[in-house]
């Protein structure tokens, strides 16, 4: 069968790959994260094809979805990784990704993290402050291992992202080094016997829909790279970060082809390798969260659809006011649309998946699918209210892999003493 859109509806029922979602839930329970491996591969290949005109490393941004099965599959496609913690390094190494294909970002790297990444043979640390550079130089000296570095530039660009928490490229955020300090820091790195300058880096935010802010950021890093080069400081790579937006309401995501048309010729001209750090674009549309209706409650002017999944499973609606399309797994064509709040069972008023949403009125026992949760979904799940984190499965055509089993009650007690 030809399945074009992720999670198509066939005869009134939602499918994942070549499997009925209802059957997957019967086997693996609810709530359940379902990922379609074909959708992940298609997004990866799209970026690869768009940027084929330049020496490219796609360093998948692991924080978007760090499930080992997904990391393993991305590694098989040729991906490296953009990591932000020792835990992510550990996961990536376990999934078989070579440290030499990893860049290490983050404003607060500890000495423990620096040591581990140096030992593993990381491609580069994307350094975010003068003080971090000093500490990294000390750690490298102590270990007798030169530290490969890039400087993360804060280009002071306000990218138009849907929420202020996902803007990282303007001067008032904690990220990156102010443009006017970058060259001085390159000079001091060049003077340090145990720091090896490898590249330049910028990441302006997340869920960006237009290439324009990237073009501005690119202008800045290319100018800085040329100035560094003029002083004899050579840079092997330019890391343009991630942030390419996806369609949360069936609209098109960012055109990586349009972005590539701007970026590829200008980077190719410099001879530098290009590193991209896409996270959401690769996995976002590949995931749904399936959750079951427990109760429908009418209260004054409001109708609440109370689900077995909530903010502990998916926090984007309450944390970022994120919109996620929600639809019944099995259509109820006889049911009228009503305006409802789709809420979870957690003891917080902020526990909702959607507010004031028009939905075919579901009933006790129905399944709803929350779309576009492949990125920043499960990875932000918590055990608040002593809830067990849901299972994650990966569907590949007709095959299904239990990528992470549902947590057990004993998992909740792990590490505690009595």
Ligand X SMILES: *Cc1c(COP(=O)(O)O)cnc(C)c1O
Q: Return residues touching ligand X (CB under 6 A).
A: 61, 63-64, 82, 105, 203, 206, 241-244, 277-281, 375
Report the alpha-carbon angle 397-331-361, nearest 5. 140
Least spacing, CB of residue 35 vs ligand X, in Å:
15
Task: Give, rounded to a whole angstrom, the gap between the first and last alpha carbons of the chain.
Answer: 55
Q: Which of 368, 357, 361, 365 is nearest to 314 (CA)?
A: 368
Structure tokens, 68 = 């080992």
The phi and psi torsions of 281 (rounded to 5 degrees) equal: -60, -30
171 versus 397: smaller Cβ distance to ligand X: 171
82 versus 366: smaller Cβ distance to ligand X: 82
282 versus 395: smaller Cβ distance to ligand X: 282
81 versus 293: smaller Cβ distance to ligand X: 81
CB–CB of 209/243 below 8 Å?
Answer: no
CA distances from 221 to 80, 124, 216, 244 (A): 22, 17, 9, 18
Least spacing, CB of residue 281 vs ligand X, in Å:
6
Chain position whose Cβ is nearest to ligand X = 279
- Length of the chain as a residue count: 418
Helix, strand, or coil (residue 243): coil
Structure tokens, 187 = 């000079």
Least spacing, CB of residue 378 vs ligand X, in Å:
14
5 Cβ neighbours under 8 A, 6+ residues apart: none
Tell me the C-alpha distance between 44 and 78, whole Å.
9
Tell me the C-alpha distance between 177 and 117, whole Å.
21
Query: Active site residue: 347, 398, 409, 418, which one?
Result: 347
List b or e across 226-253, with b for residues whose CB sees 16 or more CB atoms inside 10 angstroms.
Answer: eebeeeeeebbbbbbbbbbbbebeeeeb
> CB 27: neighbour CB atoms within 10 A?
13
61 versus 66: smaller Cβ distance to ligand X: 61
279 versus 390: smaller Cβ distance to ligand X: 279
Tell me, yes or no, if 347 is annotated catalytic: yes
* Residues carrying an active site annotation: 347
């Amino acid at each position: 069968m030809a399945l074009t859109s992720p999670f198509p509806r066939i005869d009134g029922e939602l499918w994942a790959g070549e499997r009925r979602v209802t059957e997957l839930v019967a086997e693996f329970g609810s709530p359940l994260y379902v990922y379609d491996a074909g959708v992940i591969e298609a997004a990866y290949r799209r970026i690869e094809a768009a940027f084929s005109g330049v020496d490219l490393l796609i360093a998948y941004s692991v924080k978007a979805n760090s499930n080992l099965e997904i990391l393993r599959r991305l590694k098989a496609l040729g991906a490296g990784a953009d990591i932000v913690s020792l835990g992510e390094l550990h996961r990536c190494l376990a999934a078989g990704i070579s440290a030499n294909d990893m860049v290490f970002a983050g404003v607060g790297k500890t000495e423990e993290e620096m040591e581990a990444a140096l030992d593993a043979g990381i491609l580069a640390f994307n350094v975010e402050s003068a003080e971090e550079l000093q500490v990294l130089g000390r750690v490298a000296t102590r270990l007798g291992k030169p530290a490969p570095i890039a400087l993360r530039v804060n280009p002071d660009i306000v990218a138009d992202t849907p929420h202020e928490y996902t803007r990282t490229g303007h001067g008032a955020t904690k990220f990156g080094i102010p443009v006017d300090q970058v060259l001085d820091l390159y000079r001091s790195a060049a003077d340090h016997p145990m720091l090896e300058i490898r590249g330049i880096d910028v990441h302006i935010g997340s869920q960006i829909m237009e290439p324009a802010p990237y073009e501005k950021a690119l202008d800045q890093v290319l100018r800085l790279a040329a100035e560094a080069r003029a002083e004899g400081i050579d840079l092997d790579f330019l890391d343009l970060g991630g942030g390419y937006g996806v369609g949360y309401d069936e609209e098109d995501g960012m055109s990586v082809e349009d972005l590539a048309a701007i970026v590829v010729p200008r980077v190719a001209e410099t001879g530098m390798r290009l590193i991209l750090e896409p996270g959401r674009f690769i996995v976002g549309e590949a995931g749904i969260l399936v959750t079951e209706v427990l109760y429908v409650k009418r209260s004054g002017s409001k109708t609440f659809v109370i689900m077995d999944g909530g903010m502990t499973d998916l926090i984007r609606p309450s944390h970022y006011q994120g919109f996620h399309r929600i639809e019944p797994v099995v259509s109820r064509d006889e049911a009228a649309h009503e305006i409802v709040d789709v809420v979870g069972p957690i003891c917080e008023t902020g526990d909702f998946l959607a507010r004031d949403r028009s939905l075919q009125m579901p009933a006790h026992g129905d399944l709803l699918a929350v779309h576009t949760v492949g990125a920043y979904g499960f990875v932000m799940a918590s055990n608040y209210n002593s809830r067990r984190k849901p299972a994650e499965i990966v569907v590949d055509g007709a095959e299904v892999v239990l990528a992470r089993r549902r947590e057990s009650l004993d998992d909740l007690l792990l590490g505690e003493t009595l």
